[in-house]
A and B are shown apart, each in its own frame.
Chain A
């Protein structure tokens, strides 16, 4: 287990009252909604950022907004930290608890409240998984656009917390662009609603502020999301290049030419090999870099768009162009891409970075990333959303070797600084969590961060909501 990233020191007064707090939570909620036995707490000690773990004080699994409000009100009254948790798929440690914290888990809030085809909205409880929204609205001819690779497991509540993206966000935007409203519980237990089936805010855009706030401002219990009519057809096409540079330049050129496909995904050679071994998707193994470009629409539209893309790829020395010939092939191509992290996990431990860079800097950042990782004596596989410059270098290392793990973390930090220096951001869609918390000062000035923390304090002046996350522990305002 790594120790480089610190957590806040547990509040002694809270730890001392542990038994009372558990009893009180059992008074507030039905017994099946409170987890407090040490061995039953273990599944909640970490998320997908597995290098760090802390056993929480207790876990509650409420079924209703009212139950969340009751727990929140109680925790606020006694100064007990609260860590919200969706499906625990966070790659930045956003859902890792701390010893003095009550975890509010969303796993029992899985009700689809309303599907409204006339207004193209779905209203769901926050624990509903991302994919099950699309499944539920599919019979009406709609889908929910943001599609994180973990969409089978991750919840809409977690997506809102992290402003999650996915491969198809190039065309349709990320969570914040597809979220119309939330019901949420404020730190003192007050329930508010922001937005709804209408567009835009009456006053300040608090919905925009809440989306991506990583559980720092309140607990979202319900969400109303925008639905989109399913395209008539969609076709992923594989473009193989000799080098990452050629592939990167092709991406910038496609976007610059005014064509916006639904998705442009990038894989370098190590990633192609890992994913092909896992999914047998038919990825070419004799190329140095691969783009998966998806176009959608009618046959005629897809043909027209593909023709332009093939032409551009030709100017960048494309070696292989392969269109999927059937729905099964198309599904395999996406399966390979979306299981990239899982497939990597089968051959090695890894940490996944999430920086974004301007498109013109893709090739440069890829090259520098390789240099950095080599300097630390490690290997890297790159598989990411190229169309919006959202990089995901997977740094491979051996978790049983603490020095190796430390080197991987250091290399990761250097890569993220590289992204910021290239004009990008520390995180595209995974959030800051604990992972990038201490790099925030590299992206922001003290004044910038102080302003964010001041706004945070308008919601949670006592810093009890997910308090070890996002903002560096040093330099916080006194609670």
Chain B
């Protein structure tokens, strides 16, 4: 049965009720990321779909408050009308996961969903200023606030962000927004292998030109973006945003520097916007529901080593974002979980999350990266303090 409370108080009542009976609840937003994480087996479903609406939006203060079930599309439209945006560029998972429906703003923060700008502008969790949620005892809790510097006491906001509905049922979120940059351009460096591209991206990030996107697209991926309009061969793409006068000066500077790595071309605003949106949504890997898809986060300098090592032993296709530190990895058939996790550890640490896989694969491995014993024990204790009965999304995250 799906429970669809219309108010926060109703949600609290429903959860209190479930807690008293020990009824487990599967938490649902728009359902566009429903397959993300480990399989949840719960007795009932609790949906935020009736908790909708933008509660407060002050463009001059760059802060918005919305109920958790509000569709992201509605929020983006209102922001766009005011020339503002969510700086963390939340990915739309519908393409790669083959889901329908509308992503919700609560889902974005519950899964801490970010995009290409994350490595310089912060993740969803960095823009999240305040939340209201119902804990596993059915109590309504408020944390954070609506000002930028908002941490008074313990920062439960960060804790709830990315907890995938296992710690509380979000009812309302308050987040910071930023002005849409006046213009955007992309410097494309062609013909670099993964290693050279990593060096080029690091060099770009060391320059005072404020690169706001740094991705590397190997040949298998390059042609599947913006209708194949990127130049032949590998494409290392660097995004510049801001005032027009400033972007053109920085593009000159960056282009000059990048010529020492490879041939350089430029993409104008329209193509740039499309390109980065497609990178954000991992467009090259949509439409292959049976191929396992990993999202791997490692130190930028070692990402290419991880891919090279795996390529020797497994059928993989990969591209890089975040200066090389975020790797989207599509496996031909076997998810190669053990090998992948072992190599990540050997390269200094990080994590791999299984975003998509056939049900048979999902059932036999953990979607989230296992943590060390002490951290796992601590996380389990934290879970116990927010959801003592373990009623929210049981089994969704590793070990909790």
By a beta-carbon cutoff of 8 Å, the part of chain A in contact with chain B is 116-121, 140-142, 163, 165, 169, 173-174, 176-177, 186, 190-194, 196-209, 211-213, 216-217, 229-232, 252-253, 255-256, 258-260, 297-298, 300-301, 304-305, 356-360, 388-390, 423-429, 432, 436, 440, 443-445, 447-449, 451-452, 454-459, 470-471
Contacts and interface: CB of A to CB of B under 8 A. Distances in A.
Given A118-B202, A196-B349, A199-B119, A205 B159 contact: yes
B326 A199 contact: yes
Interface of B: 58-63, 83-84, 112, 114, 118-119, 122-123, 125-126, 135, 139-143, 145-159, 161-163, 167, 178-180, 199, 202, 205-210, 242-243, 245-246, 249-250, 253, 297-301, 322, 325-326, 348-351, 353, 368-372, 374-376, 378-379, 381-386, 397-400
B147 A356 contact: yes
A456 B154 contact: yes
Given A196-B350, A229-B205, A232-B208, 18 more contacts: A117-B202, A118-B199, A118-B301, A177-B122, A200-B123, A202-B369, A209-B158, A255-B61, A301-B243, A301-B246, A305-B243, A360-B58, A423-B145, A425-B151, A444-B142, A447-B141, A454-B386, A458-B384
Contacts of B202: 117-120
B301 A119 contact: yes
Tell which of B149, B249, B250 has the most Cβ of chain A within 10 Å: B149
Contact of A201 (B162, B207, B245, B376): B162
Given A255-B61, A423-B147, A470-B153, A206 B205 contact: no
B134 to A, nearest CB: 10
Q: What are the 3 A-B residue pairs with the smallest beta carbon separation, nearest first? A: A208-B158, A258-B179, A256-B60
A198 B61 contact: no
7 contacts: A197-B298, A198-B298, A202-B398, A260-B178, A301-B245, A360-B61, A447-B140
B113 to A, nearest CB: 10
B141 A451 contact: yes
A169 B253 CA distance: 26
Contacts of A186: 374, 378
A120 B397 contact: no
Given A120-B206, A232-B208, A212 B145 contact: no
A458 B387 CA distance: 12
Given A117-B206, A165-B149, A200-B297, A359 B60 contact: yes
Contact of B153 (A190, A204, A471): A471
A260 B148 CA distance: 13
A391 to B, nearest CB: 10
Given A198-B325, A455-B159, A458-B381, A163 B142 contact: no
Given A229-B205, A301-B246, A455 B154 contact: yes
A197 B384 CA distance: 29
B299 A196 contact: yes
Tell which of B140, B301, B372 has the most Cβ of chain A within 10 Å: B301
A244 B42 CA distance: 57
A355 B93 CA distance: 39
B246 A389 contact: no
Contact of A204 (B139, B348, B379): B379
Contacts of B59: 256
A140 B62 CA distance: 34
B122 to A, nearest CB: 5
Nearest to A163: B151
Nearest to B301: A118
B117 to A, nearest CB: 12
Contact of B145 (A211, A217, A359, A424): A424
Given A359-B61, A432-B153, A208 B161 contact: yes
A255 B297 contact: no
Contacts of B126: 173, 176-177
Contact of B385 (A192, A208, A455): A455
Contacts of A174: 149
Contacts of B156: 209, 451-452, 455
Contact of B208 (A231, A255, A426): A231
A198 B155 contact: no
Tell which of A119, A206, A300 has the most Cβ of chain B within 10 Å: A119
Contacts of B374: 186, 190-192
Contacts of A229: 205-209
Nearest to A201: B162
Contacts of B253: 298
Nearest to B178: A260
B108 to A, nearest CB: 14
Contacts of A212: 151, 154-155
Nearest to B120: A228
A301 B208 CA distance: 12
A229 B146 CA distance: 30
A272 B162 CA distance: 44
Nearest to A218: B378
Contacts of B178: 260
Contacts of A457: 385
Given A120-B205, A260-B178, A356-B150, A252 B60 contact: yes
A165 B148 CA distance: 11
Nearest to A175: B151
A358 B159 contact: no
B149 A390 contact: yes
Contacts of B148: 356, 388-390
A206 B210 CA distance: 29
Nearest to A256: B60
Contacts of B150: 356, 425
A283 B386 CA distance: 52
B243 A447 contact: no
Contact of A304 (B60, B245, B370): B245
A388 B147 contact: yes
A274 to B, nearest CB: 24
Contacts of B84: 258
Nearest to A192: B374
Contacts of A389: 147-149
A356 B400 CA distance: 36
A245 to B, nearest CB: 16
Nearest to B298: A198
